[in-house]
Structure 1
């Protein structure tokens, strides 16, 4: 069986978080860069499919290909380390500290951004033929996404900020569920199936993913979107990062850790008194039982 039980894959989650804390700076940055770049390409692919077919569900259905590839290649997303690394701290693994956790998060954030921005720049060149012409319809769509999900939130003030934050929470609830689902199986096909479903949900529902946004919003700015860097940071990236952190740690990491790695004491079974049932003398069979001497003797 390729299925891994919750108790076992929760241990794998803690081990993975510990390994990421002690990973070399060079390796952490390279893995994060590649993760950001691959996810950005997947986002560009999904937007292209959506624009050209007019079917958002088809774009969402195909987007997880990038997530699956980067996971199988061992690359790291900020959303994933938000969920896994704190578990090693909660489990009091030797040498794992808050400083080490923050170092990992900072390096992964930097690598993800550099990878996503590199792809954003490349795609902006492609969409405009080296900025020699206005962006094509896919480029225009990306610019519109950037406007709607920055100044679009700002129009509603605090309500818009709350909506943005909760979309970030729900996003990493789904994405981190995909990360964990990949640990439920020892086969490549099982890992891919487990990852595909929750990632598709987040993309189709329009939840806010900090790394995808590292591609979409710089692309939008490069392609003439009507919003500023400040709009992007205040009305998207920063609240999205915080929402992703809360969603991954609270609804995925801690829940699994609490109930599978550090389970509560089992509840004692209730001991019920045994009630004596009086004999029914009126219906009792008082016929004496006699031995079958013929059979007994034969033995």
Structure 2
């Protein structure tokens, strides 16, 4: 199993970030739609396992399968590009600017939401037999998650908002570590193991992931949960996106760049005086002329 050294790792991360801004809008959207769909289907799977077995740890152990599959297939998540593209921008990669970075983030956000919302609709149909019956036990569990992570935060006011933001920061510190782990080796098994650990941690700890929430909260609303779209946006999605950005860039990307990015070495200039002195020392000694020729 080959290991990529940190200095080479940063080179790979910056190259990956630069590559993402060169995709067409259609390519970026497709990559993001598929990434959001696969991840949130895994979230539905994990909640199902946790609910039916009564073992949340088992759900957390299985959830990373979605994250691993989407990265092995080359799809994108907003949480990942929050780390990779700023690194490429810091490294001054050609074509990477503030404008291209924001454009990519906007397209990936939109694509992730389309993918996650599609899964939310499909799962709502699945949990209610096409909206002809009350939600199943798993559907009720998803509804409660949506209620607790919006109204539950709002009940604590500023403290609730701070808690939400911190959970979002910690979430992408782990998720982006999983993204980085993908580049730590060129061995598939090594990539799987490296990604599995931080993703399992974030899910079990209940940290806030903006794309997973794009599934959980629309699902809750479709299943009759007691919160509103504005509750979802103000007391979860918007602060979660901001926290994910801070966690991915400040806690993962920037430290790696500051610690391991290659620095161009300036050639040492030879001082003029020593150079002249060295030349003089090497020159043959000339005899002194005592007088003029007669």
Same fold per superposition (TM over 0.5): yes
Question: How many angstroms apart in 2 are the aligned matches of 1:113 and 1:263?
Answer: 38
Match of 2:162 in 1: 162
Q: Which residue matches 1:220?
A: 220
In structure 2, the gaps of 5 or more residues are 266-294
> Take 2:72 and 2:3, find their aligned partners in 1: how far apart are those partners?
17
Which residue number in structure 2 is paired with residue 42 of structure 1? Answer: 42
C-alpha distance after superposition, 1:251-285 (max 9, x if no partner):
100000110005699xxxxxxxxxxxxxxxxxxxx
Aligned to 2:245, the other structure's residue is in SS state: helix
Query: Hey, what's the Cα distance between the residues in 2 that align with 1:90 and 1:22?
Result: 17
User: What stretches of structure 1 of length at least 5 have no aligned partner?
Assistant: 266-299
Could you tell me how far 1:22 is from its partner in structure 2? 1.2
Aligned partner of residue 93 in structure 2, secondary structure: coil
CA drift at 1:173:
0.1
Asked if the contact 2:153/2:235 (under 8 Å) is kept, the reply is yes
CA contact (8 A) 2:18 2:94 kept: no
Mapping 1:89-104, distance limit 5 Å: 89-104=89-104
Normalising to structure 1: TM-score of the pair? 0.87
The aligned counterpart of 2:54 is: 54
Q: Distance in 2 between matches of 1:263 and 1:155?
A: 49
Structural RMSD (CA)? 1.1
The residue number in structure 2 matching 1:15 is: 15
After alignment, is 201-210 or 1-10 more displaced? 1-10
**TM value normalised by structure 2:** 0.89
- 1: CA distance, partners of 2:34 / 2:264: 40
Counterpart for residue 129 of structure 1: 129
Q: CA–CA distance in 2 between the matches of 1:186 and 1:112?
A: 26
Query: After the TM superposition, which parts of structure 1 deviate over 2 Å for at least 4 consecutive aligned residues?
Result: 262-265
Counterpart Cα distance in 2 of 1:29 and 1:182: 22
Residues 7 and 262, structure 2, Cα contact 8 Å, conserved in 1: no
Indicate how the Cα distance of structure 1 residues 154 and 13 shifts in structure 2: closer, same or farther if over 3 A, else same. same
Partner of 2:252: 252
2:42 is aligned with 1:28: no
